[in-house]
Amino acid sequence: MRPIRKGVKAGMSNKGNQWTACLLAGLLLTTALQGTALAAEQKGEQAEKIQQEITQVDKELQDTLQTMQDLEAELTAGMKEKEKMKGEIAALEQRIEKHREKLKERVKVMYEKGDVSFWEVLFQATDFSDFLERLQMLSMIVEQDQELIDQLRADQEQLKVTKAKLDAQQKARRAKQEELRKTEQDLQAKAKNLKGDLAEALAAPAEDQMVVEQAYQNYTGPQFIQSVAGNGSYAWPVPSSFAISSGYGMRGSEFHKGIDISAPIGTPFVAVADGVVVQAGSASGYGHWIVIDHGGGVTSVYGHMYGNGIYVSTGQTVRQGQVIGATGNDGYSTGPHLHLSMQSGGGYVNPLAFLQ
């Protein structure tokens, strides 16, 4: 962080006291900034570590959910398979029952009541050997019936064994599912805790930032003249006033993205550096504004003017120190002042770090 030095610029009475006040403010601010920079760095590292842990836990969670999904599919398939087997076992039972009935009927007819066709078959024998052949054939029919029943019974037994295996498999799957549910819950809880830690780690530097901004607010009242050394090469925008009525940083619940330099309505202000006007006209919140692009990703924004306080137009090239407008009291503003914002590298920066 760039060290900030404060000094008296010009045209002030009671210089000694103000110098002391500014110096004190500068020292306090420098200490606060250094402390905050260190704390912010440590917290940044901590946040990064937590973020890595979150990524890891999220990955584990994704893997667990994927495994659970696969298992769910296996359980569903297993259930369908079981239903199919149950149906097959029942169908086999029906077939066995049917063949048993048939056999029972046949045997009853053959040996108890006497079956006409059975005796007919035998009596139609042409000789004794033919008779024996026919008798054998008839008992073979009975035998085949029995064999078929035995075969069906064996198939059914086999199916029952397979189904029992499947039952055991399904039971193991359900146990695994229960285990995965617990793992998932643990991981969710872990992720939630880590996200809480991260939010805390990220929120803390903002609190520190507020302390620094508060230091600005406390020690840069309008009675003090501000000057920032550093590498600032940009011109002070209001040559006739150095009074900052509101600093860069937290202001109540919102972040003030610039500095307010109080000056009576109609006070001329200048471009802080060479550049090209990219906006000049009305803007929401600013009343009217001018935006200058200085190249290298640096832009300056001047706000709260009246429409007739804009002396430049879009596309115009301006020089550092050139008068570009006059202060007003337009837009969300509490008193006549020039609002100055500066952007660098795509974000707002404290303009004091850029100004001479």
Interface positions with Zn ion (CB under 5 A): 260, 339
As measured in angstroms, the least distance from the Cβ of 331 to Zn ion is 9
- Shortest CA distance to 201 belongs to which of 44, 36, 54, 52? 44
Measured from the CB atom, the residue of 224 and 248 that comes closer to Zn ion is 248
Measured from the CB atom, the residue of 118 and 286 that comes closer to Zn ion is 286
As measured in angstroms, the least distance from the Cβ of 42 to Zn ion is 32
Q: What gap in Å lies between CA 164 and CA 82, rounded to an integer?
A: 9
Q: What gap in Å lies between CA 321 and CA 335, rounded to an integer?
A: 24
Measured from the CB atom, the residue of 271 and 338 that comes closer to Zn ion is 338
As measured in angstroms, the least distance from the Cβ of 278 to Zn ion is 19
As measured in angstroms, the least distance from the Cβ of 262 to Zn ion is 11
The token pair at 133 is 């052949």
Check the CA dihedral 38-39-43-44 and report its sign. negative
Measured from the CB atom, the residue of 224 and 289 that comes closer to Zn ion is 289
Measured from the CB atom, the residue of 156 and 217 that comes closer to Zn ion is 217
* 109 secondary structure, DSSP code: I
Q: What gap in Å lies between CA 280 and CA 3, rounded to an integer?
A: 34
Residue with the CB atom nearest Zn ion in the bound state: 339
Q: What gap in Å lies between CA 323 and CA 309, rounded to an integer?
A: 11
Q: What gap in Å lies between CA 85 and CA 78, rounded to an integer?
A: 10
As measured in angstroms, the least distance from the Cβ of 21 to Zn ion is 23
